[in-house]
Chains A and B, each alone.
Chain A
Amino acid sequence: MIQIEDVYKRFPGGQEALKGLTLSVDKGEMVFVTGHSGAGKSTLLRLIALIERPTSGQVIVDGQNTRRVSRRRIPAYRRQLGMVFQDHKLLYDRPVFDNVALPLIIAGAGHRDAVRKVRAALDQVGLLDKERQSPETLSSGEQQRVGIARAIVTRPKLLIADEPTGNLDPDLSLEVMRIFRRFNEVGVTLLIASHDIALIDQLGCRRIALEDGALQKFEEEDPVAEYVERYETDQEQSRW
């Protein structure tokens, strides 16, 4: 489903986010990408969503080389993906239903079809009774579930999520991960950036660890020490 081949990403400032990254994700897999902030997780997802383009190397998503997707074709390309964001990126001037319906409206779905699909998506994240509410009245966990419903309403084959549980407490995080798991069971490929190692280990999915823009060498790492270190850096960051 995803092939990343020797990808470099250098930003105008000269800083290198990815340095020769190569990895692949098969159809129907649920894979986590872990690593410190700045290890290149977000950059990887942004390359897949075509928010950025690689400096060199190939990014192939569902058989399409993103290099050959022209600027004009980016919207159509993005419509095949489902995307979930740490900060939900909901539109707060309209109710939950309209937020979830947005990808269908963009895709030009008929009204009756859209209503049916939105209800189905909201049902899957357990928010069917909140469709008329404004996202502002919902809790952070519920808002993230609205974001997930919006990502899956068009039934994409691939769903990418950047720190989807970043703002959630452990119970809500597990709930969100269970929802992802259910999509995976019906054949959706998922690529999720997260640093919540404990949660990932609980789910027993493949984990791709990034370090300094490339794959981390697994055999050298001490999971406990790494977790402690990561916890400390996160604490440091949250202070900022």
Chain B
Amino acid sequence: MVNKPSAAALTQIRPSGPLRTWATRHASNCIAALGRLARQPFASLMTILVIAITLALPAAMHLLIKNADSISGSWESALDFSAYLNNDVTVDNARSLASIIEQRADVASVTLVSAEQGLAEFKAQSGFGSALDHLESNPLPHTLVVRPSGSNTEETMRLLHEELANLPETDLVQIDTEWVQRFHAILETLQRAIAMGAALLGAAIIVIIGNTIRLDIQNRREEIEVTKLIGASNAFVRRPFLYSGLWYGLGGGLLALALVGYGLFALKEPIARLAGLYNSGFQAISLSISESATIVGVGVLLGLVGSWIAAARHMRRIEPK
């Protein structure tokens, strides 16, 4: 017969036993590692500062791109179409066409610029004033300035453009999106470049933390030897160093957030002044919560990876003699 533990016996087993020991061990390691960092505040702070700067660089660049993107996004929705009508379209026809187009859902407003208004504006702005008086007839067509509604996507904008161009009354419909597209392409290229730079900087962080941990391991060589001699496993001797790496990464990540936050705060005034000069209500966007969490998370991860590599490389070589 198989001996099964009775229900009473099962309840007597404390479920917290080994798990609790494990948790206590990790907690004490974690706090001890923080204590060691605190005992050498200057050296620890230097390491954390280097990590923070390395993390803050790509974060700040990302923020810059994000802001540039949001500005150009607001430009795009404010782009107007200029629909030049055929020369045989009269002002009245143009006016009724304008009111028809205005009823479309994807159009916010339509303004009629008659040939006379156009010529007057051109005269006033071009500086050719008196020369234009010699023209026998007005060469300009009537023009409809069509402002699309804000809800348009790139696709509906294209459709609107097409439909306006296909109207029998229109001669030419122009929209200057090219430079916006170029600007986006530049931003995208920059974004890629930053991602690559960030990957290199991440590798640099691993090296920085790995090197710090390597020195730490060398300084505590004797302690490692003794603990191995009395039966400590590699995992046991490695653990405190992994926690050191974790603290470096966490400290670096949080300080990076503070650096970026401070930078943004310092730029707030000049940005508001600049936006004011352009009559824009633009406000700089800061890092979102998930982006902030990513920066701190990346810091912690790189800290762990760096210390793990250093510990794995150097710990094996330290054997009791």
Contacts and interface: CB of A to CB of B under 8 A. Distances in A.
Nearest to B234: A75
Interface string B211-255: 000000000000100111111111010000000000000000000
A78 B230 contact: yes
Nearest to B16: A110
B230 A150 contact: yes
Q: For chain B, give the interface size range.
A: 20 to 34
Interface of B: 17-18, 20-22, 24-25, 223, 226-234, 236, 319-321
A106 B22 contact: no
Interface in A80-112: 81, 83, 89-91, 93, 102-103, 105-111
A22 B229 CA distance: 25
B72 to A, nearest CB: 58
Nearest to A110: B21
Given A89-B226, A91-B223, A75 B233 contact: yes
A111 B229 CA distance: 22
A225 interface: no
Interface of A: 49, 51, 75-79, 81, 83, 89-91, 93, 102-103, 105-111, 150-151
Given A51-B320, A79-B231, A106-B233, 11 more contacts: A49-B229, A75-B228, A75-B236, A78-B230, A78-B231, A81-B231, A102-B227, A103-B230, A107-B231, A108-B18, A110-B17
A150 B319 CA distance: 20
A106 B321 contact: no
Contacts of A110: 17, 20-21
A110 B233 CA distance: 18
- Residue from A76, A90, A102, A150 having most chain B Cβ neighbours under 10 A: A102
A106 B232 contact: yes
Given A75-B233, A78-B230, A108 B321 contact: no
A51 B18 CA distance: 30
19 contacts: A51-B321, A75-B228, A75-B236, A78-B230, A78-B231, A79-B230, A79-B231, A81-B231, A83-B229, A83-B230, A91-B223, A91-B227, A103-B231, A106-B232, A106-B233, A106-B236, A108-B22, A109-B21, A150-B230
